[in-house]
Structure 1
Amino acid sequence: MKILYKKGIAAVCRIAALYFMAFLIGACPVAAEEEQKTPGIHTWADLQEAINESGPGELITLTGNLTALSSDSGLMIPAGKHLTLDLNGYVLDRNLDSWGEFGSVIQVNAGAVLTVRDSSVSGGTITGGYHNNGGGILNRGTLILESGRITGNTVLHTGGGISNDGTAILLGGSITGNEALLNGGGVCNKPKGHMTICADVVSGNQAPEYDDVFNQGTLTLQEAEPEEFHFEDMTVVRSYMEELAILPFLVMLAILLYVVWIDSYLSRERKRIMLWIVLLVLSLILQNYTEYRMSMQVG
């Protein structure tokens, strides 16, 4: 009776082990499924919709050049949003050659956080804005510029590239070739603004006064290169968390392998078969995880 009981327990454990392996395969992120959930961004309106529907710390990656239509407004980052926009080597063009209402390329509202970066080597660009202030980006929240170019924007008053009335941290990229008809062709830091500029991010802009930087608030100039400047960006933390997501699966798989190996009711041949099954499951998990990470980088 005891022998039958032990054999029954062992059989249940083996069945549970097989179900567990199936669960691991199904639970591991699959790139193809992720791609189906990610809508394409083909128009200016698509990008605004992606911004509106973005979750905390979400990365939005451009997949092509986007040019605003005459019926489009500037892109709005609503209060409460915290996202990263990867230009990915493409051009974001507001397409204005004269003043337009909501004529900035991007407006960051108070309470919003926007990180702009360009993961390509060709240089993604924010251009074509024409507004009162902040032709490229009008910031009232928190703006972090990691890389990319802000160029070819014009304003009637101040801040051809960026007008800041919140917190702006310009770590890298370039703000060049912008124009203000009053002052601050590159950037304007308003009286309530806090701005940090690293190295020579702002240069080669035009204005009757203060071609590059017009400061009325709190301005910090960092001579260090961007990689030497440290700033706690939650999108980086989120990236690290994604890297660690596979660890629980690997730990559980190792435990499963140990349980199978010490099962005294399995013959050596069956243990060898189970070992091959576990290795196969591990290879599938690693393959799916690798494809998932690559799809996230491509966007």
Structure 2
Amino acid sequence: MGWGDLGVYGEPSRETPNLDQMAAEGMLFPNFYSANPLCSPSRAALLTGRLPIRSGFYTTNGHARNAYTPQEIVGGVPDEEHLLPELLKGAGYASKIVGKWHLGHRPQFHPLKHGFDEWFGSPNCHFGPYDNRARPNIPVYRDWEMVGRYYEEFPINLKTGEANLTQVYLQEALDFMKRQQAAQRPFFLYWAIDATHAPVYASRPFLGTSRRGRYGDAVREIDDSVGKILRHLRDLRITENTFVFFTSDNGAALISAPKQGQCSTHPRLCRWGCPGDPGISEAPSGPLTHPG
């Protein structure tokens, strides 16, 4: 997602009312920059609090620990790194990642080996579809079990742009929060969806609803989902002791334009995948914590 794609940052169509309201009622961090213009390094920085190069993650995807493409890259986050959910576990938190991990696809790099108690999502993005011979489609996991693959059990229609993934990820988030509140346990939810990552998708109720094309449809669905998460916190009566952060990982994915709609880097320069991009970016990946 691009810096300029939210109404609060000047997007003229004003199609993000929930995020704009969240900004109006909370705090803005206009000088908060992602640590890298590529997914794996920026996510490593978000979860470790360290420059990604210190964890062995680099912009160039030829390096072994970049974790950029699961079929080719066999590295991931090192054991000696302390991720945010590992630290929170010591304080009694339950932690879940929903969506894209992108810090290694082999068993030793699994999210549940690095502090998370639950995972529903994928080690990478929804690239594909592939031929399932030389290269298989990207898997989707529930904890340790592979429950399907993108374009197969989790369909994405590249022609129409329809996919129900954001709604699936939303329900995972709502269910997790409800279970933890029922158990009176503090929680950390890392809701790392990838709807605005190319190829862009949205569920049927949002397709064709934006003035910015399919990309705008995806942004509107993300905004609607954030609104539902915030309302769920109110329904659970835990808004007063819950922190919610909305951020993104590395810069506007201009590869989506023009067929899938146009994202905006305004007033920033460059884009996703471009060295030097300061962006607020393509795949919202913000931590949500409930200190209890």
TM-score for both structures, normalised by structure 2: 0.27
TM-score for both structures, normalised by structure 1: 0.27
Greater Rg by CA: 1
Larger RCO, structures 1/2 (Cα 8 Å, 6+ apart): 2
Higher normalized strand content (fraction of residues): 1
